[in-house]
Amino acid sequence: MSTDLALRRALVREIAAGGALGDPALRAAFEDVPRHLFVPYYYEGAPGGHVRLWGEDPDPGRRARWLTGAYADAPLGTRMRDGDLVSSSSQPSLMARMLQALELDDGDRVLEIGAGTGYNAALLCHRLGEDRVTTVDLEPEITEAARAHLATAGYRPAVITGDGARGAPARAPFDKIVATCTVGSVPHDWLAQCRPAALVLTPLATGLIRLRVTRPGRAEGRFLHTPAYFVPLRGSAPGALPGPPVEGPARDAASNELFRFLLQLTAGSLDPYAAYELWRREERPRRERFGVTVEDGAQWAWLDDPQGPHTWPLRGAPFSPGAR
């Protein structure tokens, strides 16, 4: 057995042990698609900065280190700008949980927002067929690299350079839309390109919101329990707001990951003290108690009930039902 195959199988066993990959067809995708082809080089943290590991390194020890790292259940920094990491390949177990949450069925047409290295698109191609997969990214450098990586692995889905907030109207309609970048609110064009009952899964705040399209222009759903940290969507959609300054009693709570999620979700709508009082009264609610509704251009987040007392507009939303 080749080294990369042994490492790949070990990674799949680790992901499956964590509760993902219950779909045998999705597990087969992770077993068959070689991740190292999508990260021919990546950056690893080192004292004073980062070190670049790559598959063509003349030093055999560093090549082995690169290959082992490519099959670690960890995100990998793939692009740097001015000394800062600006792009990465997501943690494989998080990718598996996201793809599992999409409830993929044979025949589904999927739009991916954020091409990244192309690895996620390759997994989708394996599961559904390359003709049913579209991936979009704003930067030509990213789409060119993703297209090359996919071709090397034997896949040729539609790879489009464009504003991810606009979707891919020429390839619509879609049964599933998955984003690998954070949004401040759900782009209208995504829902317009969905079939009835489609699923949309996107990072929002520091969580993953899964929306079911119930009719044209309307979708609703709850957050998954999984925390998720992604770079913001670049383009015409509103990005996530920075976390507000936290003072007073809320400052101590700001170290709690779930409270930070609530701060992000309510940024621009609730001041941090109001968010803290809600969090305290509701006994530190977990992500699954929160949801989002999109209806004819309006968007609001809520706790427990879309029409209940605890609602607030997402960024760019014209109203909250609690303010009607």
CB 247 within 8 A of CB 263: no
Domain presence at residue 228: no
- Domain count for the chain: 2
The pLDDT value given to residue 69: 96
Q: Which residue has the higher pLDDT, 323 or 217?
A: 217
Q: Are residues 82 and 209 in the same domain?
A: yes
The pLDDT value given to residue 84: 73
* pLDDT-based confidence at residue 237 (cuts at 50, 70, 90): low
Q: Are residues 151 and 208 in the same domain?
A: yes
Q: Are residues 209 and 270 in the same domain?
A: no
* pLDDT-based confidence at residue 25 (cuts at 50, 70, 90): very high
Residue 240 predicted with pLDDT over 60: no
Q: Mean pLDDT across the stretch 144-169?
A: 97
Compute the distance between CA of residue 20 and CA of residue 27 in angstroms, rounded to an integer.
Answer: 9
Q: Are residues 168 and 302 in the same domain?
A: no
CB 71 within 8 A of CB 4: yes
Q: Mean pLDDT across the stretch 309-317?
A: 83
Q: Are residues 214 and 269 in the same domain?
A: no
* pLDDT-based confidence at residue 319 (cuts at 50, 70, 90): low
CB 220 within 8 A of CB 291: yes
Token digits of residue 212: 């079911």
The pLDDT value given to residue 303: 97
* pLDDT-based confidence at residue 223 (cuts at 50, 70, 90): very high
Q: Mean pLDDT across the stretch 291-296?
A: 94
> What CATH code is carried by the domain that includes residue 83?
3.40.50.150
The pLDDT value given to residue 322: 47
Give the pLDDT confidence of 40-91 residue by residue, as tens digits. 999 988 887 788 999 999 999 999 999 999 999 999 999 888 777 677 899 9
* pLDDT-based confidence at residue 323 (cuts at 50, 70, 90): very low
Q: Are residues 189 and 79 in the same domain?
A: yes
Residue 317 predicted with pLDDT over 90: no
Q: Are residues 28 and 112 in the same domain?
A: yes
Residue 242 predicted with pLDDT over 60: no
Domain presence at residue 54: yes
Residue 324 predicted with pLDDT over 50: no
Which of the listed residues 187, 222, 257 is the one where a domain comes to its end? 222
Domain presence at residue 239: no
Q: Mean pLDDT across the stretch 225-244?
A: 74
Domain presence at residue 141: yes
The pLDDT value given to residue 248: 58
* pLDDT-based confidence at residue 95 (cuts at 50, 70, 90): very high
Q: Mean pLDDT across the stretch 253-275?
A: 87
Q: Which residue has the higher pLDDT, 111 or 1?
A: 111
Q: Mean pLDDT across the stretch 30-43?
A: 97
Q: Mean pLDDT across the stretch 96-120?
A: 97
Q: For residue 173, is the peptide bond before it cis, meaning its omega torsion is within 30 degrees of 0?
A: yes
Range of the domain at 48: 3-222
Which of the listed residues 222, 239, 258 is the one where a domain comes to its end? 222
Q: Which residue has the higher pLDDT, 320 or 267?
A: 267
Q: Mean pLDDT across the stretch 230-255?
A: 67
Using a pLDDT cut of 70, give the percent of the chain over it.
Answer: 91
Domain presence at residue 290: yes
Domain presence at residue 238: no
Domain presence at residue 230: no
User: Which is catalytic among the residues 87, 88, 90, 185?
Assistant: 90
Q: Are residues 162 and 43 in the same domain?
A: yes
Mean pLDDT of the chain: 91
* pLDDT-based confidence at residue 181 (cuts at 50, 70, 90): very high
Give the pLDDT confidence of 267-279 residue by residue, as tens digits. 888 888 889 899 9
> How many residues are listed for the chain in this entry?
324
Q: Are residues 81 and 192 in the same domain?
A: yes
Q: Are residues 15 and 103 in the same domain?
A: yes
Told to judge if 90 belongs to the known catalytic residues of this protein, a careful annotator would answer: yes
Compute the distance between CA of residue 188 and CA of residue 48 in angstroms, rounded to an integer.
Answer: 43
Domain presence at residue 302: yes
Q: Are residues 212 and 258 in the same domain?
A: no
Q: Are residues 157 and 286 in the same domain?
A: no
The pLDDT value given to residue 251: 65
